[in-house]
Amino acid sequence: MPYTTEHKQQTRARIVECARVLFNRKGFTEVSIDEIMASAGLTRGGFYNHFRTKEELFVEAVAIYQDFNPIDRWPQLDFDPERCGTAFARQMVDVYLSREHLDDIEGHCPMIALPSDVARAGAGVKRAYHSLLERMAGMFAQSAGASAGAQAARRHGLALAALCVGGMVLARTVEDDALREEIRAAARSTAHDLID
């Protein structure tokens, strides 16, 4: 009996989620299709029922983060998607630059976990990463207010995104916990200054 469309979609989603976790842990090149499928409880042969290549899967693993809800991963954080303007931007900074996000290797945003892999990847992966960056910068740009003008708001959004991502990338690479905290806190404080 053939699988239902819903079953196929659920299986595909499971493969993408397992791949996302493994890519975050080990990077794109260090993860094999066999490893991804084993993590999903499936065989390698099943991979090709859903994806043509590992890079096609990588595109989806990056893209699914656009629908990421931080409360699903870190319910103890204060995040309300109904907030607007500067209140929304401040909470985004607080969640993105949170200790929970920093310590959760498997839950990292791909912009933190995978920038080197994306830089070496094909056009599809770069487009997914670009889209994720545009979405983040756009959310921050909205906090600049209508009076700032479109170009200034975009610059503001890009600067905040770069500060958040860059701060977390640096903090993630440092083993000294005191310095990790100092980097994270400095990025957070400076981001708040830019918002207020």
> Would you say 161 and 136 are in contact if contact means Cβ atoms under 8 Å apart?
yes
Q: Decide which of 118 and 15 is more confident.
A: 15
Residue count of the chain: 196
Matching CATH number, 68-195, of 3.90.1150.10, 1.10.3720.10, 2.60.40.1930, 1.10.357.10: 1.10.357.10
pLDDT at residue number 1: 55
CA neighbours within 13 Å on the CB side: how many for 183? 19
Domain residue spans in the chain? 5-61, 68-195
Which of these, 97, 78, 93, 98, lies nearest to 196 by C-alpha position? Answer: 93
Assign 136 a pLDDT band (cuts: 50, 70, 90). Answer: very high
146 contact partners, CB below 8 Å, separation of at least 6: none
Residue 189 has pLDDT above 60, yes or no: yes
Q: Per CATH, which fold does 5-61 belong to?
A: Arc Repressor Mutant, subunit A (1.10.10)
Helices 54-63 and 123-142 pack at an angle, to 10 degrees, of 0
Structure tokens at 185: 């806190």
CA-CA-CA-CA dihedral for 119, 124, 125, 128, to nearest 10: 120
Residue 2 has pLDDT above 80, yes or no: no
What are 43-90's pLDDT values in tens digits?
998 999 999 999 999 999 999 888 888 889 999 999 998 898 899 999
pLDDT at residue number 100: 95
> Would you say 196 and 86 are in contact if contact means Cβ atoms under 8 Å apart?
yes
CATH topology identical between 5-61 and 68-195: no
What are 12-53's pLDDT values in tens digits?
999 999 999 999 999 999 999 999 999 999 999 899 999 999
pLDDT at residue number 112: 92
What are 57-69's pLDDT values in tens digits?
999 999 988 888 8
> What is the per-residue DSSP string for 36-102?
HHHHTT--HHHHTTT-SSHHHHHHHHHHGGGG--HHHH-TTS---TT--HHHHHHHHHHHHTSHHHH
Q: What is the mean pLDDT of residues 121-129?
A: 91
Q: What is the mean pLDDT of residues 85-102?
A: 94
Position of tokens 């690479």? Answer: 173
Q: How far apart are the two ends of the chain, measured CA to CA in Å?
A: 60
